[in-house]
Amino acid sequence: MKIGIIGSGAFGTGLGVALALDGNDITLWGRDGDAQAAIQTTRQNPKLPDVTLPENMTFSAVLETVFSRDIILLSIPAQTLRPFLADHVTPLSGKYLVACCKGIDLERMTGPASTIRNMIPDAIAAILTGPSFATDIARGLPTALTLACAVDAAGEILQTALSTSALRLYRTTDTVGAELGGALKNVLAIASGVAIGAGLGDSARAALMTRGFPEMQRLAAALGADPETLAGLSGFGDLVLTCTSDQSRNYRYGLALGQGKAFDAGTTVEGVATAGAVRQLARDLDIDLPICTVVADLTSGQTDVMAALNALLSRPLKEE
């Protein structure tokens, strides 16, 4: 099958490798023409080192090469998704558009699949999310993800098209739940990194993960999702992975915060923007989300690590 991927970063490339090795014809688009030409020639992507790219992967800076595909994976940051869609409504209309990013749009307070539906109503909107690192996918290591599409028949088509021998996709129609699981776990990954960076230990991290999970479910329910969706791969599964692995950018960012160290400003940390969005949603919907709110205050510079930890530890005692 011919599949297009918008975004030739680590995750987009990793997905492309997995799909290409399964026999698909893959075209990836990246903004930098020189970089795409170099990847095409060397069969190496600096963002995914030690992985030789299959010959049935094509890298290009010409968008039309991807727009010609019926299935297009959107592997670009959540905060750039809406403006990208706004600039290319006509060529993307009628396509299967699968968001492969995690976050909440700060202007519209919507997740990636909802953003696609709002911007391009006649496209088939879906989101691919769950516990996964680009290197694992590219190396052919077993990975299971959630494929969420509100139209179940279309979701079944995408599930068949995008599953491989090592990449197993589970289908749901609860796109809002899948969106929120992928977004909120990044906020809790920052909190977990802060706990470890500040020397609070693994027990504190486990407590943050455990108490943070109901926050994910509460917000999901308030926004019309099924809280049980968050108990699956797109929520709990992704939460475990990103809160416990150094491969997680959000966890590493929190780790640096906890240690009082600078973090690479060029690295995308979706959890920072998401934390701010979640804090606003908690206020608007009058929902108690203490961990997410403290992370938002911390990442926006409104509090420091010790004050943030004290705010959580001084909360009233209650039943679990």
One-letter-per-residue 3-state SS of 147-188: EEECCHHHHHHHHHHHCCCCEEEEEECCHHHHHHHHHHHHHH
Q: Cite the active site residues.
A: 185
Q: Is 57 in a helix, a strand, or coil?
A: strand
Distance (Å, whole) CA 295 – CA 313: 14
H/E stretch holding 97 reads strand 96-99
Cα R_g (the chain), whole angstroms: 19
Q: Six-digit token pair at 136?
A: 């694992």
- Of the candidate CATH numbers 3.30.300.20, 3.40.50.720, 1.10.1740.10, 3.10.50.40, the domain formed by 2-173 belongs to 3.40.50.720
Within the chain, all domains assigned CATH 1.10.1040.10 are found at 177-313
Give the pTM.
Answer: 0.94
Neighbours of 210 (CB within 10 A): 11
- The pLDDT profile of the chain, 320 residues, written as one tens digit per residue, is 899 999 999 999 999 999 999 999 999 999 999 999 999 999 999 999 989 999 999 999 999 999 999 999 999 999 999 999 999 999 999 999 999 999 999 889 999 999 999 999 999 999 999 999 999 999 999 999 999 999 999 999 999 999 999 999 999 999 999 999 999 999 999 999 999 999 999 999 999 999 999 999 999 999 999 999 999 999 999 999 999 999 999 999 999 999 999 999 888 899 999 999 999 999 999 999 999 999 999 999 999 998 988 888 776 657 66
- The answer to whether the beta carbons of residues 45 and 53 sit under 8 Å apart is yes
Query: What is the distance of C-alpha 255 from the center of its chain?
Result: 19
Amino acid code (one letter) for 293: T
- Rounded to the nearest 10 degrees, what angle do helices 78-87 and 112-119 cross at? 10
- Please enumerate in sequence order all residues whose Cβ is within 8 A of that of 42, keeping only pairs 6 or more positions apart, or say none: none
- Please enumerate in sequence order all residues whose Cβ is within 8 A of that of 187, keeping only pairs 6 or more positions apart, or say none: 212, 250, 271, 274, 275, 278, 291, 292, 295, 296
C-alpha distances (whole Å) from 56 to each of 23, 68, 73 are 8, 16, 17
Within the chain, all domains assigned CATH 3.40.50.720 are found at 2-173
Distance (Å, whole) CA 132 – CA 142: 10
CATH 1.10.1040.10 fits 177-313, yes or no: yes
Quote the pLDDT of residue 265.
87
